[in-house]
Amino acid sequence: MGKIRAGIIGTGNISGIYFKNGNRFDSMEIVACADLNVERAREKAAEYGVRGSSVEELLAASDIDMIINLTIPQAHASVCIQALEAGKHVYVEKPLSVTKEEGRLVLETARKRGLLVGGAPDTFLGGGIQTCIKLIEDGWIGTPIGATAFMMSGGHESWHPDPEFYYKKGGGPMFDMGPYYLTALVAMLGPISRVTGSARISFPERKITSQPKYGQTIQVDVPTHVAGILDFAAGPVGTILTSFDVKGGSQLPRIEVYGSAGTLEVPDPNTFGGPVRICRAGSREWMELPLTHGNADNARGIGAADMAAAILSGRPHRASGELTFHVLEAMHGFHEASERGTHYTMTSACERPEPLPLG
């Protein structure tokens, strides 16, 4: 079976790991890249031995089957649509888009053209969360009842060289980090039926303490402390808290899933590995379990590779457009519920992604 030939658009920070993992998977090879900043694309191209060009040239190339869109969130939808209109399948970094309307348009364009859309995060395909899914399916915690997810941070202005966008539309802790937590929850517990939440701006202005913009002030436009409740269609009730306003640290776990027969401690969903720990009902002992699946190292790109395999074989892909849209809708749902003082009923559904085979 041949390989899907992929081109990267957006050769910034995160592109390095995609290039590095480009030849790790049998289904896909990365052969070209492009960026608004053509010079930057050419540098990356030389570093990784691929073709570098303008976006237009890449989209016009007849030997490219699939685009991996690693641009900034504000450009995700437009670059996805350009790729689809050029007849290419597209896989996009998180989040799918800024607004729900743009996200729907991306999915609709793909459907009309008979092409696939997929999107990050793909950490749920790593050994850690795949092991959690296997344990839940095999009944280790009984029937799932609830889950908690916590992403507590003090904000990115202490280390990120250009942190302003985290406090503007499309930013905030939920849109930045929520995709990891929500995708992991949906992969374990299935789709969400409704959400509610409360959100606040705790610090209307933030001082940058990283270089090179040390001392500059950011005006905060979006909520930076977002608390949400999620009802899963299958019954469990989840709680999620994402914050850039926790200045004194936190000792909360990342994700726990509570079942009728035990509790599962899920590893950091921004990583691919473990540890996975479980405490069975009636016991006070936490056991660390060996991982049942591979790809526990930084396997970023596995979602794109799985989509490439799906294109080749005709089976559904796991990090699907429907899944990333569902997560995007839930993130908007928390904010809209907070503004309106109501629950937000989800309009989208998605299948729980098929677990990877053992091993």
Q: Residue 55 Cβ, how far from ligand NAD at the closest point, in Å?
A: 5
Residues whose CB is less than 8 angstroms from the CB of residue 226 and which lie 6 or more positions away in sequence, other chains included? 172, 173, 174, 178, 197, 198, 199, 241, 242, 243, 334, 335, 338
Q: Residue 44 Cβ, how far from ligand NAD at the closest point, in Å?
A: 9
Q: Residue 102 Cβ, how far from ligand NAD at the closest point, in Å?
A: 13
Half-sphere exposure of 220 (CA within 13 A, CB side): 20
β-strands 344-345, 192-200 pairing: antiparallel
Residue with token string 């609709």? 108
CB closer to ligand NAD, 15 vs 320: 15
Residues found near ligand NAD in the complex (CB under 6 A)? 9-14, 35-37, 40, 55, 70-73, 75, 79, 93-94
Q: Residue 12 Cβ, how far from ligand NAD at the closest point, in Å?
A: 2
Give the Cα separation of 230 and 235 in Å (integer). Answer: 10
CB closer to ligand NAD, 97 vs 130: 97
β-strands 262-266, 276-280 pairing: antiparallel
**Which single residue brings its beta carbon nearest to ligand NAD?**
12
Closest CA to 123 of 356, 295, 321: 295
CB closer to ligand NAD, 7 vs 144: 7
Q: Residue 57 Cβ, how far from ligand NAD at the closest point, in Å?
A: 12
CB closer to ligand NAD, 169 vs 315: 169
CB closer to ligand NAD, 134 vs 335: 335
β-strands 237-243, 144-152 pairing: parallel
Give the Cα separation of 263 and 269 in Å (integer). Answer: 17
User: Are the beta carbons of 304 and 68 closer than 8 angstroms?
Assistant: yes
CB closer to ligand NAD, 92 vs 309: 92
Q: Residue 166 Cβ, how far from ligand NAD at the closest point, in Å?
A: 10
